[in-house]
Amino acid sequence: MAEKLLEIKNLKQYFNQGKPNEVRAVDDISFDIYKGETLGLVGESGCGKSTTGRTIIRLYEATDGQVIYDGINVHDKKSKKDLKSFNRKMQMIFQDPYASLNPRMKVLDIIAEGLDIHGLVKNPKERKERVVELLETVGLNREHADRYAHEFSGGQRQRLGIARALAVNPEFIIADEPISALDVVSIQAQVVNLLKELQEEKGLTYLFIAHDLSMVKYISDRIGVMYFGKLVELASAEDLYKNPMHPYTQSLLSAIPLPDPNYERTRVRKSYDPASHNYQDGEEIAMREVTPGHFVYCSTKELATLQAISGSQV
């Protein structure tokens, strides 16, 4: 069994807490991420997946719950020294490569910012050599160091974002919809393939947040599905696609188009109605293991039904 790198326990992120317009963006979710794996987190816009990533890395302080990284609760870290050490281990690749790069800084300084903060280089020569090395790692070249972000294409800018994240030699990277701003499928595939290559070379662990289910399946070992702040299903990528159990997951998968005219003519799009669960007052709804490694947010009655259908019992 792989070693746990990250444990999320009953994580909550509420905005405007206690007010009439309170938003429960992340509502009591728990999951683990193991060293060397990619956990995909999917769901429609507004489901809380990006907020989950930002809370894990402490861009937002958690309302409640624990984020335990390598055995230490991230949200207990208070001193600048502790936070600095944590920030070296965990980095983020942002969704928008246009907005996440400072237009007034040259690429050399954008990528070297982390090196400077953490004192990882001794002099300007070593600083530039390290930046050039990072540029080449992500498929760019030495000449790019002296350019500004606006001089690059969308795919190239996302490569710059990846290089910046790699600069401090992190163990864990949160990729927050890193391909959603790239409108050409071939460029999206190049970025995802680069992430896979880097993972193999450097032993990285990823939380890959996206709404493109086909791309998530390609890169992820396991996939979690979020709906309105709740984690509703968690399973291996293969199992989730072959045997989706939660009605919301089934709805998402039914919406994926395939390049097959015959399939598209007969494809039936499933809709999801939360009211269809018909829960009783006081009934406990929780993430439950239906088959080994396959968890679904359900009641005990739904659990029994799902296990009967699957012909398995944990």
- Give the pLDDT confidence of 85-114 residue by residue, as tens digits: 888 899 999 888 778 888 899 999 999 999
Which region among 124-133, 147-156, 269-278 has the lowest average model confidence (pLDDT)?
A: 269-278
Q: What pLDDT score does 262 carry?
A: 82
- The pTM (predicted TM-score) of the whole model is 0.91
* Ordered domains of the chain (ranges, CATH): 4-228 (3.40.50.300), 245-314 (no CATH)
Q: pLDDT grade, residue 312 (50/70/90)?
A: low
Going by pLDDT thresholds of 50, 70 and 90, the confidence category of residue 314 is: low
Task: Tell me what pLDDT residue 313 has.
Answer: 62
Query: What is the chain's mean pLDDT, rounded?
Result: 90
Give pLDDT, residue 287. 96
- Distance (Å, rounded) from C-alpha 112 to C-alpha 209? 26
pLDDT in tens, 175-233: 998 888 776 777 888 888 999 999 999 999 999 999 878 789 889 999 999 999 999 99
Share of the chain above pLDDT 90, in %: 63
